[in-house]
Amino acid sequence: MSISIIGSSIKRLRQKFSQSIGLPIREALSEAEIEAALRAEHVMYRRCLWNPIITTWAFLSQVLDEDRTCRKAFSRVYAYLSDTQPVSDPLDLIDSQADTGAYCKARQRLSLDVLKRLYRSVATHQEETAAPERRWCGRRVSLCDGTTVLMPDTEENQATYPQHPNQKPGCGFPLAKLVAIFSLTTGALVEAITDIWSAYEPALLRKISTCLKAFDVLVGDRIYCTYVDIALLQRQQVDSVFRLHGARKVDFRKGQRLGKNDRIFTWEKPM
């Protein structure tokens, strides 16, 4: 599946989701799956309106919706409860749609470990159930890349992810380096890692590449095209496709010619 097809599919799904009412996210993430994740992370909770299950559905719906306000997420829960728990007066279920404070507090109580477990479960299920023709020659293909992201200017973030030294203190934002691995088959995020802005991307990739399996293919840009990284991937029986690193010069008069701009070269282990 091409990246453009994945992007257009996601756009259509988001539009369809925004036009729906209630909590259609329940079809993709069942109550049983959320309960299993809560048990695995030893999270205890009370049976109340804003329990972790309802709150997780509301939070994910808020992220996917074009209208990402708490009020819209609140209205989705209201519609869901009105439909699944009919009563004489729907307001018996929720005091007022104007009051989103309880939802915001419940969202803050969500366990990050539970959300990570849920995401990995969904991503793994999508990959395992994907049609064989969506793979390249029957093999899983993953994409890797890195970027930097700005973060809220808080003391905690500044301490963990300091701003760029070119910016004067108090005039910049905390800056984090993010490296991620995506599935080309499903478009799902497989694994990701964050560090300070100056962290070396290939070093971060090495920390998360253990998620790759034998016979996978990893595609990335030229910064990852080093002898060490390719050798480490081969040790995992993972093939790699990278653009040639800018620091490595190649003489196309050498090597075994396979076709136009296509040659086999042997790289010697650096001393």
Q: Can you give the CATH number for the domain in which 231 is found?
A: 3.30.420.10
Distance CA(198)–CA(221), nearest Å, equals: 18
Q: What is the pLDDT of residue 67?
A: 83
In-domain check, residue 231 = yes
For residues 157 and 240, state if they share a domain.
yes
Q: What is the mean pLDDT of residues 147-162?
A: 92
pLDDT in tens, 209-253: 999 999 999 999 999 999 999 999 999 999 999 998 888 888 888
Residue 55 confidence (pLDDT): 92
Mean pLDDT, the chain, rounded, equals 85
Instruction: Quote the number of domains for the chain.
Output: 2
Q: Is residue 267 part of a domain?
A: no
DSSP conformational letter for 28: T
- For residue 186, the enclosing domain spans 136-248
Q: Is residue 59 part of a domain?
A: yes
Residue 263 lies in a domain: no
DSSP 169-191: TTSS--EEEEEEEEETTT--EEE
8 and 108 housed in the same domain: yes
Does a structural domain hold residue 211?
Answer: yes
Q: Is there a single domain that holds both residue 227 and residue 165?
A: yes
Q: Under a CB-based contact definition with an 8 Å cutoff, are residues 242 and 217 in contact? A: no
Task: Evaluate whether 189 touches 123 at the Cβ level (below 8 Å).
Answer: yes
Residues 74 and 167 in one domain: no
* This prediction's pTM: 0.76
In a domain, 129, yes or no: no
Asked if the structure places residue 122 within a domain, the reply is no
The verdict on 225 and 177 lying in the same domain is yes
- What is the C-alpha to C-alpha distance for residues 96 and 214, in angstroms, rounded to an integer? 53
Percentage of the chain lying above the pLDDT 90 cut? 44
How does pLDDT run across 76-103, given as a tens digit for each residue? Answer: 888 888 777 654 444 445 554 446 888 8
Same domain, 234 and 174: yes
> Which residue's structure tokens are 């470990």?
113
Q: Answer yes or no: do 74 and 141 share one domain.
A: no
Residues 176 and 219 placed together within one structural domain of the fold: yes
Q: Label residue 13 by pLDDT band (50, 70, 90).
A: low
Residue 163 lies in a domain: yes
Residues 61 and 93 in one domain: yes
Question: How much of the chain, in percent, has pLDDT values that exceed 70?
Answer: 88
Are 76 and 58 spatial neighbours (Cβ–Cβ below 8 Å)? yes
State how far the Cα of 179 lies from the Cα of 75, in Å rounded to an integer.
35
Measure the CA–CA gap between 167 and 153, rounded to whole angstroms: 13
85 and 32 in a common domain: yes
Q: Which of 8-17, 71-80, 177-186 is predicted with the least confidence, judged by mean pLDDT? A: 8-17
* Residues 202/224, Cβ–Cβ less than 8 Å: yes
